Amino acid sequence: MNRRSFLVATGTSLANAIVARNGRALAAPAPAAHAADLRLRIEPCTLDIGHGVQISTIAYNGQIPGPLLRLKKGKPTTIDVTNSTKNQDLVHWHGLATDSLNDGAVEEGSPLIALGATLRYHLTPNPSGTRWYHTHAMAMGDLSLAAYTGQFGFLLIDGEPDPGRHDKEINLAIHHWGPHFVPMVETMRTQSQNMPQTSGSDVGYTHATINAHMLGAGEPIRVKQGESVLFRLLNASATENVVLALPGHTFRVIAMDGNPVPNPTSVEVLSLAVAERVDALVEMNSPGVWVLGSTLKESRDIGLGVVIEYAGKSGDPVWRDPQPTEWDYTRFAANNPVPDPEETFTLTFRDAGALNGSQFDTWTINGDAWPNVKPLKVKHGKRYRMVFRNASGDQHPIHLHRHSFEVTRIEDQHLSGLIKDTVNVMPLQTVAVDFIADNPGDSLIHCHQQLHMDYGFMQIIKYAD
């Protein structure tokens, strides 16, 4: 059974209100007598991103990004989600330690929302920090669905630790539009070990935005000299990793994926893989009109940027290329010894090529493609290590559902204290992460690039009974 058949079959059974998980039946939530705390509607939307460009897509409550959801850590919250589109869908609460039923992943047993139906999610938000919400539907070969749409929004969980003093908060979500298939870049593919050369497809884009507009469209971000601004940045693209800079300024990185970093550090550029978040403080001490945008000219040319305008300043926004630098997670981490794990799982990622006549490449973990995988078995309360071995020429942002993990090794460099839910594994790189099995229930691991996830790049963790 392929992933499409699996999800259709699973979605049908879930829509009929019964989910089989861990040997017991779970009833899908019945209509509630009381109003939900929050409501979201998945619905068609036409977005004017500027420069005469309109995007027809799917969004939450008709806006992009979706409504800012600001919840309190530990306070139970209900959210009703109504599906006003022609396809089944569901919402994933990325970075929260939810139960499997409410996490929003069919592969874990979460129900799909049928056409015209409303589903109530029950969340007890934890941990605090910058999380986000988005569709977890599949797209396969249809680039009008899933993460290619405008279904994403910020989910901020208030609670300790406090991000510290700042004068203003600005949330910026990056997204790419106009997806289309292009041939794989053969020069990148030849870097992979023992990988067949195929004619698979990748995804290119026509436009990019920060929040709802392309660079130069919409209102600038207005600041005052001397202000300390907390930028929350989210890469909500379906497949594109990004590198950003703000000429004349530095970013003091204080959190990654919503979690405070052990070693807050100032950097000139930020790298965000798909699904990653960075919280950074910027001291506004360089008056002028600037571009906060991609370090790649071709990305800025399609819109990936936003204007930062100081009070009393005017003129054309200025861009200056930053000094070349490599993004390094270890700069923000500690290097204290970490406990030994109960068990280590080595997961090797490979591109198996275009199989069975498909134009798309199949991705495998230890030689298996979803759903034909061997689950990772864990025991409640134990510490486990996953060693991610990227045997391909692509970058892979690996996301673990319902848990956070500690990055403990990048190649031969040991580190500690860097807590994330998504880590970008570079081509031919090895990264180790540790997690505590403290949230029983099925938990998905996958590459967050939509095309990779759709074509096999998923694994499941199951707790021992």
pLDDT tens-digit readout, 11-68 = 333 333 323 333 332 334 445 568 999 999 999 999 999 999 999 999 999 999 999 9
Of the candidates 139, 18, 37, 127, the one whose C-alpha atom is nearest the C-alpha of residue 79 is: 37
Which of the four pLDDT bands, split at 50, 70 and 90, describes residue 360? confident
Residue 420 has pLDDT above 80, yes or no: yes
Structure token pair of residue 255: 């959190």
| In the chain, where the domains are located | 3-158, 168-327, 343-463
Average pLDDT over residues 425-438: 98
What pLDDT does residue 33 have? 65
Which of the four pLDDT bands, split at 50, 70 and 90, describes residue 357? low
Where helices occur in 81-153 by DSSP H, the ranges are 100-103
| DSSP codes of every residue in 195-244 | ------EEEE-SEEEETTB-TTSSPPEEE-TT-EEEEEEEE--SS--EEE
What pLDDT does residue 12 have? 37
Q: Which residue has the higher pLDDT, 111 or 465?
A: 111
Q: Which helix (H) or strand (E) holds 13?
A: helix 3-15
Q: Which residue has the higher pLDDT, 18 or 190?
A: 190
User: Degrees (nearest 5) of the Cα angle 371, 377, 382?
Assistant: 145
Q: Is residue 234 packed enough to be buried (19+ CB in 10 Å), middle (13-18) or exposed (0-12)?
A: buried
Q: Report whether the peptide linkage leading into residue 371 is cis, meaning its omega lies within 30 degrees of zero.
A: yes
Centre a 10 Å sphere on the Cβ of residue 56 and count the other Cβ atoms it contains: 11
Average pLDDT over the chain reads: 90
293 near 304, Cβ under 8 Å? yes
Q: What is the pLDDT of residues 201-239, one digit of tens each?
A: 689 999 999 999 999 999 999 999 999 999 999 999 999
Amino acid letter for position 213: H
* Identical fold, 168-327 and 343-463: yes
Percent of the residues in the chain that have a pLDDT greater than 90, as a whole number: 84
The domain made up of 343-463 is a member of CATH 2.60.40.420: yes
CATH topology of domain 168-327: Immunoglobulin-like (2.60.40)
What predicted TM-score, i.e. pTM, was given to this entire model?
0.90
Q: What is the pLDDT of residues 86-111, one digit of tens each?
A: 999 999 999 999 999 999 999 999 99
Q: What is the pLDDT of residues 305-351, one digit of tens each?
A: 999 999 999 999 999 999 999 999 999 999 999 999 999 999 999 99
DSSP 8-state assignment for residue 375: P
The domain made up of 3-158 is a member of CATH 2.60.40.420: yes
Centre a 10 Å sphere on the Cβ of residue 117 and count the other Cβ atoms it contains: 16
How far is Cα 235 from Cα 242, in angstroms, rounded to an integer? 8
Q: What is the pLDDT of residues 245-277, one digit of tens each?
A: 999 999 999 999 999 999 999 999 999 999 999
Q: Which helix (H) or strand (E) holds 3?
A: helix 3-15
Residue 185 has pLDDT above 80, yes or no: no
